């Protein structure tokens, strides 16, 4: 009797009296989602100066929504504003108007997006297989996958990919046309790649597989809806597509292959010498699925095998024809993936078209597969009967529960879960010092700490690795020139060259690592920052050579007399002091 009740509780399709069971699994889904999101939220507020890594790019400039005097005429703020999707920027602006600061919003938003995604994925799964436990597992597996990456926790445009695409699928499967169109419009305004995929899904739904051949839908409503959906996607993408960037044009693939900034290990890793597998499968920008995890999410690839044997897996009879949407998503995603490769840089990075949508597909497919296996295990068991006849062993059922237990609690065994990618500012005294300076004070620095200053100190910097994207030629040219000039000035033995540099860029402060003038400096600095600096040749090579030869940089002579801040391993020089004649 107990086995029968457990069978019904875990794998029975919903019926008129199943409301309590649906509520239980739905609430359990939200419970786990809340636990994971709360862990992320705790990290977000663990210190006064905390920001998500990617938010330092897409949110830092939005501080101007609160104070228009901040980051005025700043190159990097202007650039990132120009490439930010209009819906995303408008949302942050609206929240700033009602009193929620952009950086604060970026910390709160991930929990909301995670919960919304959970609700919709649970609903999508129930539309495909009306078993509440399958909805729970779908939401759980997707939460595992989302929080092992920093997409949602970034609160940047890509964070909206999951809730908006899950909402699109839910309303599409329920044939709720108006909400479906709204979801598509929001995708175009917040994260364009998902709008492309949704458009592809709408086109594929006009095709049917019948008697071994493809046929076109004969329902006029399908054509009307598909055309309307594509029109909405087009209109939502139009403002972003027509926006003329003063930093353009986009770099071409032939140009990118000649620029070290696109090589493996650089700021944007696109090309990998003699490693096509990494390029096509694991490349952060070019791979099909660059960030793997959790491993169990990929068992969903075996779902078609189980569906081919309905006699051995009877619950497959409850799988709705709506399941074809998973295949349509995969086809649309791969179609856009290869289109992005053919039109490199014109359609964003190719990986954007597969890694987010396929996570949802695999989560739902894996959950359905696990429920089908568990149902088969329940059916396999036969209790002993009168007359001495033996039943069938409980081992398959026990094994099923062990798998289920492992799937649920696997991430908790990982030291790095969740992995929100937050950066903690470790020099609060420096941020407070700069906040007391004029709002247009420009800081020049090769230090890794320069990446944090626009966000935590709210002051402009000349250049830093975090903001050195090479996609738009005019922006890249300015960044490259700035880095070259900064390296040359910092390690130049001629004080006149240093002063010319300060005057050229209007530098107010110069931030140095305390070991900046030692021969070991470049070898001891953060590896990512070192690789970034070494991209700018011949300036970097010449600077290293000067240090190794014992050449004394002119700037080093001003460390004692012009220092206005010292903290940790950092020293801040006032440029006005360096400019004084007689020194």
What is residue 512's three-state secondary structure?
strand
How many Cβ atoms are within 10 Å of 237's Cβ, its own excluded?
19
Q: Is 77 within 8 Å of 64 (Cβ atoms)?
A: yes
pLDDT for res 276: 83
147/418 Cα distance (integer angstroms): 5
Q: Which of 504-508, 522-526, 530-534 has the highest mean pLDDT?
A: 504-508
Stretch 489-502: mean pLDDT = 96
Q: Are 304 and 357 members of one domain?
A: yes
Per-residue pLDDT for 357 more than 50?
yes
Are 79 and 247 a contacting pair, CB within 8 Å? yes
**How many other C-beta atoms are found inside a 10 Å radius of the C-beta of residue 557?**
16
Query: What percent of the chain is predicted at pLDDT more than 90?
Result: 67
pLDDT of 523 above 50 = yes
In this prediction, residue 42 has a pLDDT band, given cuts at 50, 70 and 90, of very high
Instruction: Tell me, yes or no, whether 439 and 522 share the same domain.
Output: yes
368 and 454 housed in the same domain: no
What mean pLDDT do residues 525-537 have?
89
Q: What is the pLDDT of the chain when averaged over all its residues?
A: 90
Residue percentage of the chain with pLDDT more than 70: 94
Main-chain dihedrals φ then ψ at residue 445, nearest 5 degrees: -165, 145
Check residue 260 and report its DSSP letter.
G
* Both tokens assigned to 465: 């690795």
Same domain? For 399 and 448 the reply is no
Mean pLDDT of 43-71: 93
Residue listed under structure tokens 């900034």: 261
466 and 547 together in one domain = yes
pLDDT digits (tens, 9 = 90+) for 154-164: 999 999 999 99
Residue 89 in any domain: the answer is no
198 located within any domain: yes
Query: Which of 89-93, 349-353, 530-534 has the largest mean confidence?
Result: 89-93
Confidence of residue 4 (pLDDT cuts 50, 70, 90): confident
Res 507 pLDDT > 60? yes
Q: Residues 410-439, buried b or exposed e (16+ Cβ, 10 A)?
A: ebeeeeebbbbbbbebebeebbebbeeeee
* 450 shares a domain with 344: no
Domain that holds residue 537: 426-579
Closest by CA to 53, choosing from 421, 399, 353, is 421
3-class SS at 300? helix
- The predicted pLDDT at position 218 comes to 80
Q: Is there a domain that residue 94 lies in?
A: no
Across the range 366-381, mean pLDDT stands at 88
Q: What is the pLDDT of residue 262?
A: 85
d(CA 114, CA 149): 12
How confident is residue 536, by pLDDT bands cut at 50, 70 and 90? very high
Query: What average pLDDT score do residues 13-28 get?
Result: 89
Length of the chain: 583
**Comparison of pLDDT for 439 and 261, the residue scoring more:** 439
469 and 370 assigned to the same domain: no
Q: Are residues 167 and 309 in the same domain?
A: yes
Residue 85 lies in a domain: no
Q: Are 148 and 417 in contact (CB under 8 A)?
A: yes
Please check whether residue 58 lies inside any domain of the structure: no
pTM of the predicted structure, to 2 decimals: 0.93
Q: What angle do CA 204, 207, 209 make, to 5 degrees?
A: 125
Same domain (yes/no): 446, 495: yes
Q: Which of 106-115, 283-292, 298-307 has the lowest mean pLDDT?
A: 283-292
* pLDDT at residue 389, rounded to an integer: 46
* Residue 559 sits in the same domain as residue 474: yes
- Give strand pairing partners of 566: 571
**Has residue 478 got a pLDDT over 80?**
yes
Task: Report phi then psi at 394, rounded to 5.
Answer: -80, -5
Q: Is residue 558 part of a domain?
A: yes
What are the CB-based long-range contacts (under 8 Å, 24+) for 527-536? 528/465, 529/446, 529/447, 529/448, 529/465, 531/265, 531/266, 532/266, 532/267, 532/465, 532/468, 533/446, 533/483, 533/487, 535/260, 535/261, 535/266, 535/267, 536/480, 536/483, 536/484, 536/487
Same domain, 522 and 477: yes
Q: Assess if residue 96 is contained within a domain.
A: no
Q: Please tell me the distance from the alpha carbon of residue 374 to that of residue 313, in angstroms, as a whole number.
A: 10
Helices 102-128 and 161-173 cross at an angle (nearest 10°) of: 30
Q: What is the pLDDT of residues 425-438, one digit of tens each?
A: 999 999 999 999 99
Residue (of 428, 480, 490, 437) closest to 459 by Cα position: 437
| 346 confidence band (pLDDT: 50, 70, 90) | confident
**How far is Cα 128 from Cα 322, in angstroms, rounded to an integer?**
6
Domain membership of residue 517 (yes or no) is: yes
Packed helices 473-490 and 495-505: angle between N→C axes, nearest 10 degrees:
150
My answer on whether 219 and 304 are in the same domain is yes
Q: What is the pLDDT of residues 201-257, one digit of tens each?
A: 999 999 887 767 778 888 888 899 999 999 999 999 887 777 657 887 888 888 888
> What does the pLDDT read at residue 238?
84
- CATH number reported for the structural domain that contains residue 527 in this entry: 3.40.50
Beta-bridge partners for 215: 208
How high is the pLDDT of residue 6? 80
| Rounded Cα–Cα distance for residues 143 and 411 (Å) | 10
Bond from prior residue into 418 cis (ω within 30 degrees of 0)? yes
Q: What confidence category does residue 414 fall into, taking pLDDT thresholds of 50, 70 and 90?
A: low
Cβ neighbours of residue 497 closer than 8 Å, sequence gap 6 or more? 488, 489, 554
pLDDT of residue 1: 66
β-pair type (443-445, 509-513): parallel
Is pLDDT at 583 greater than 60 in this prediction? no
Contacts of residue 455, Cβ cutoff 8 Å, sequence gap at least 6: 51, 55, 56, 59, 60, 103
Per the model's pLDDT, the better-predicted residue between 485 and 219 turns out to be: 485
H/E element, 509: strand 509-513
Give the pLDDT mean for 516-531: 89
Residue 502, C-beta contacts closer than 8 angstroms, at least 6 positions apart:
444, 489, 575, 578, 579
Number of structural domains (the chain) is 2
């Amino acid at each position: 009797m107990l086995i029968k009740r457990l069978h019904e509780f875990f794998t029975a399709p919903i019926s008129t009296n199943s409301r309590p069971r649906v509520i239980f699994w739905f609430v359990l889904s939200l419970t786990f989602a809340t636990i994971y999101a709360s862990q992320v939220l705790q990290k977000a507020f663990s210190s006064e100066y905390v920001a998500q890594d990617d938010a330092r790019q897409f949110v830092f400039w939005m501080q101007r929504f609160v104070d228009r005097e901040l980051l005025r005429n700043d190159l990097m703020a202007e650039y990132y504003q120009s490439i930010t999707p209009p819906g995303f920027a408008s949302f942050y602006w609206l929240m700033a108007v009602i009193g929620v600061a952009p950086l604060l919003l970026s910390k709160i938003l991930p929990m909301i997006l995670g919960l919304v995604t959970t609700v919709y994925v649970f609903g999508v799964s129930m539309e495909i297989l009306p078993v509440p436990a399958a909805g729970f597992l779908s939401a759980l597996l997707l939460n595992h996958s989302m929080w092992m990456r920093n997409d949602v926790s970034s609160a940047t445009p890509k964070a909206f990919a999951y809730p908006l695409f899950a909402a699109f699928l839910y309303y599409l499967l329920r044939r709720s046309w108006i909400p479906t169109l709204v979801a598509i419009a929001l995708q175009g305004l917040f994260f364009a790649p998902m709008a492309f995929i949704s458009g592809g899904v709408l086109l594929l739904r006009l095709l049917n597989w019948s008697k071994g051949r493809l046929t076109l839908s004969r329902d006029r409503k399908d054509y009307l809806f598909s055309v309307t959906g594509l029109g909405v996607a087009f209109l939502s993408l139009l403002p972003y597509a027509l926006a003329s960037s003063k930093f353009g044009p986009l770099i071409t693939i032939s140009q990118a292959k000649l620029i070290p900034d696109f090589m493996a290990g650089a700021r944007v890793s696109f090309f990998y010498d003699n490693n096509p597998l990494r390029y096509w499968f694991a490349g952060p920008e070019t791979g099909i699925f660059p960030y793997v995890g959790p491993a169990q999410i990929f068992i969903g690839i075996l779902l078609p095998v189980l569906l081919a044997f309905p006699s051995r897996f009877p619950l497959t009879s409850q799988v709705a024809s709506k399941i074809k949407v998973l295949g349509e998503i995969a086809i649309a995603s791969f179609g856009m993936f290869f289109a992005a490769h053919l039109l490199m840089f014109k359609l964003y990075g190719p990986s954007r078209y597969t890694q987010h949508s396929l996570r949802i597909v695999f989560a739902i497919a894996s959950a359905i597969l696990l429920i089908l296996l568990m149902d088969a295990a329940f059916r396999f068991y036969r209790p002993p009967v009168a007359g001495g006849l033996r039943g069938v062993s409980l081992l398959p059922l026990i094994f099923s529960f062990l798998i289920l237990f492992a799937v649920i609690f696997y991430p908790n065994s990982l030291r790095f879960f969740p992995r929100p990618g937050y950066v903690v500012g470790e020099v609060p005294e420096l941020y407070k010092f700069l906040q007391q300076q004029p709002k247009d004070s420009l800081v020049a620095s090769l230090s890794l700490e320069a990446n944090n200053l626009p966000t935590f100190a709210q002051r402009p910097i000349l250049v830093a690795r975090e903001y050195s994207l090479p996609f738009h030629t005019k922006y890249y040219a300015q960044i490259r020139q700035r880095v070259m000039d900064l390296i040359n000035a910092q390690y130049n033995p001629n004080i006149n060259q240093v002063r010319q540099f300060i005057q050229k860029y209007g530098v107010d402060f110069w931030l140095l690592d305390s070991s900046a003038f030692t021969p070991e400096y470049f070898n001891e600095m953060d590896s990512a920052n070192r690789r970034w600096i070494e991209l700018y040749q011949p300036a970097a090579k010449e600077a290293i050579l000067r240090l190794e030869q014992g050449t004394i940089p002119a700037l080093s002579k001003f460390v004692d007399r012009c220092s206005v801040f010292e903290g940790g391993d950092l020293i801040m020089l006032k440029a006005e002091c360096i400019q004084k004649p007689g020194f």
